Amino acid sequence: MNKTKTSRAAHLLPQPLLLPLGCHAFRRLPLAQQLALLWDEGALLAERWEGGYTVELYHVPGGFYCELYYDAPTDALRGSRCFTSSE
């Protein structure tokens, strides 16, 4: 009986992302989900400063890269960029 209750409620639980995830599919995710994926599954490769931004470079399972741009003085996320090669 418990097995039936569990299986009926299973659709209410958040579904895990299936990795690897391609760059285009990653871009379609909500920002919060993109960040969770980067921080949980991505590998931080480098951090650099560009203009007034701190830029973090991540390698993501699926064979692509993502950069996060933070405002240096406030540390607020200002943007992201996803790519598959060393463009």
- Dig out the tokens for 87 from the structure: 């463009």
The H-or-E segment that residue 33 falls in is helix 31-41
Counting the structural domains of the chain, the total is 1
54 located within any domain:
yes
81 located within any domain:
yes
52 located within any domain:
yes
**Parent domain of 85:** 43-87
Give 29's contacts (C-beta < 8 A, 6+ positions apart). Answer: 17, 37
d(CA 87, CA 57) in angstroms, rounded, equals 13
34, 26 contact by CB (below 8 A): yes
19 located within any domain:
no
pTM of the model: 0.72
pLDDT digits (tens, 9 = 90+) for 4-45: 444 444 444 445 455 577 888 888 989 889 999 999 999 999
